[in-house]
Amino acid sequence: MRPASGGGPVLSVAPMMDWTDRHFRYLLRQLTSHTLLYTEMVNMNAILHGDRERHLGYSEAEHPLSLQLGGDDPKLLAQCAAIAQSWGYDEVNLNVGCPSPRVARGNFGACLMAQPELVRECLQAMREAVTIRVTVKHRIGIDERDSYEEMARFVDVVAPSGAQRFTVHARKAWLQGLSPRENREIPPLRYDDVYRLKRDFPELEIELNGGVRSLADAAGHLEWVDAVMIGRAAYEEPFMLGDADARLFGATEATPTRGEVVERMLPYLDEQLVRGVPLHRITRHMLGLFNGRPGAKAWRRKLSEKAHLPGTGPELLLEALSLVPQLVREERAAGSAAAVA
């Protein structure tokens, strides 16, 4: 596996609320073995006082896997980091980038960029509690405090904590006036500021996030930073990650076809149904698997209309797959040709 200069993977899929749950992560593992995957953000109190299996449970196939925490109390975050390590996570990440008003009311997320000393204390406490990697995800700035110099000061103050990667969302966040969705789209992307941060802090592992839509985009950014994080594009079109291991990590395994990915998911579906997980909770993450290809609409319709019905099982995926026969034949033919070559 090709690591970033600081030791972590060169590609990751961003933590996204309601999206990067264990079922979506398992789907991505059928496409890429080396890309770092994240949980949804989990509040530190949910881990300390809530249902840990619900918040922390995962399949062993999901490694490498990072737990993203939300919180602002060094002692409690250190306890959560230790719990994450005991559960087998490869990394724990502190969220200093979410602009949600609800999150801000709890004094965590992007609002913490105004308190770099507290962020340093939190990360240092986490680092002292574990031996796994401890990282931080933040914005380039908040509100009117969005100059490069202010971001560089934030990083300079936080760096002595020993955080092992700074993942920088290359947009500022407006804490008031914009919704979380608008904060992902309206503030302009400022990639040059992230590139400059790497130049000014060459000893730090710097990862770029924001607006990355393809592996080609990621490869371009890797000329300037250590790692790249892909967000919504990976959810909307997960099959893009099928080439990630070969293109960015130097792996030699053959890229799976979409049909093979579906077939690999069938045993997992059986297992989860036995555990009482509704089928649609898993298949909702698979709607984009055929995006941009003939039959994609029929695939989505079949899953959307039928997956929630009582008694529906994994055979639904095979029925939906039969609606895109041309694509399946093309992929199988391509696989056979590659094997012969």
- Among all residues, which ones are annotated catalytic? 98
The contacts of residue 248 (CB under 8 Å, 6+ apart) are 2, 10, 11, 34, 215, 218, 219, 222
- Token pair for 305: 């209309």
> Do residues 241 and 31 lie in contact, with contact meaning Cβ atoms separated by under 8 Å?
yes
